[in-house]
Amino acid sequence: TSPDWIPGFTPRVLWTPGLRAETLPAGDVIVATAWQTAGPVNAAPARCGRKFYLVQHYESLYHGSPDEVDRTYTYPLRKMVISSWLREIMREKFQGEAELLVTPVDPALFSRVDPGPDDGLVRVLMLHHDYAWKGVADGLEAVRRVKARRPEVRLVGFGVKRPKRGEAYDEYYENLPQGRLAWLYSRCRIFLCPSWDEGLGMPSMEAMACGAALVTYDNGGCRDYALDGQTALVARRRDVAHLAERLELAVCDPGLRAKLAREGMAHIKREFDWERAVAKMEALFDQPPWKN
């Protein structure tokens, strides 16, 4: 059975009843992808293959017991990280090295498309999420301040579920099919990311690939692609006033907005490539074990 969330996925998938040593199959490589799976991978028998840990966020911040999660970063697993920020954390907090593998954007799914006639509005797109650290409250407040002075601004939200509290979105798209996301990104001139911390921040990268200008907090993971004044406007982390200021600048200056969109799109396409990323991961899997 193939994962239904990956259309066209052809490799054989063997489902196991649990992550216990006796149920894990033999293989060449075994990869932990979150703190909950790091323990079982660390304890897996040698027949499971070389052991890796794909670190996709500093999960100690928001998931599980901080001490328990931190402990997983000390396991003798070869670490791969999806952002330079995470690599720095592994080095500074845990004295461990990690290979950098920034997740690329799939150009087959995320490229600029014709959004239709220009109605003169400046649509600001924001991902809605119930986690407080996604910063939705900060984003809503920043947009509220800007809209008070710039009536052409419209806030567009999207997410897996419709908001429960009736947040002030002018438009909202619930569980939009993946094939329609490029249209949504392309019709919104600005993508606003108010997350406090991100392991990388794929929605921001997807929006940039579709020609939206990015306004974001300095959330750590964004530093690989959000270069302030070049590919994005970056606000101080959890500083709503500064976020509103940067957002208003993007709204008020069409020339700057176009420059950010153009250079942001080029950066995403130039710096992050699936073929290179896959080749690097395959090379890592083929290397002999190392001491972390």
- What does the domain layout of the chain look like in residue ranges? 29-104+273-286, 122-271
**Model confidence pLDDT, tens digit, residues 102-154:** 999 999 999 999 988 999 999 999 999 999 999 999 999 999 999 999 999 99
Integer Cα distance of 242 and 192 in angstroms: 13
pTM attached to this predicted model: 0.94
User: Residue 180: is its pLDDT beyond 60?
Assistant: yes
pLDDT, mean of residues 222-228 = 99
Question: Tell me, what's the pLDDT at 290?
Answer: 56
Question: Tell me, what's the pLDDT at 8?
Answer: 80
Question: Tell me, what's the pLDDT at 1?
Answer: 60
pLDDT band with cut points at 50, 70 and 90 for residue 167: confident
User: Residue 6: is its pLDDT beyond 90?
Assistant: no
pLDDT band with cut points at 50, 70 and 90 for residue 68: very high
Q: Which of 63-67, 179-183, 284-288 has the lowest mean pLDDT?
A: 284-288
pLDDT, mean of residues 26-52 = 97
Question: Tell me, what's the pLDDT at 2?
Answer: 66
Main-chain phi, psi angles of 21, to 5 degrees: -55, -40
CA dihedral 208, 266, 82, 243 (to 10 degrees): -40
164: helix, strand or coil: coil
Residues with Cβ within 8 Å of 24's Cβ and at least 6 positions away in sequence, in order, are 16, 30, 40, 44, 45, 48
Which two three-digit tokens encode residue 40?
A: 């079982």
User: Residue 292: is its pLDDT beyond 50?
Assistant: no
Q: Which CATH superfamily is domain 122-271 in?
A: Glycogen Phosphorylase B; (3.40.50.2000)
Question: Tell me, what's the pLDDT at 164?
Answer: 82
Integer Cα distance of 209 and 273 in angstroms: 12
The mean of the pLDDT values for the chain is 95
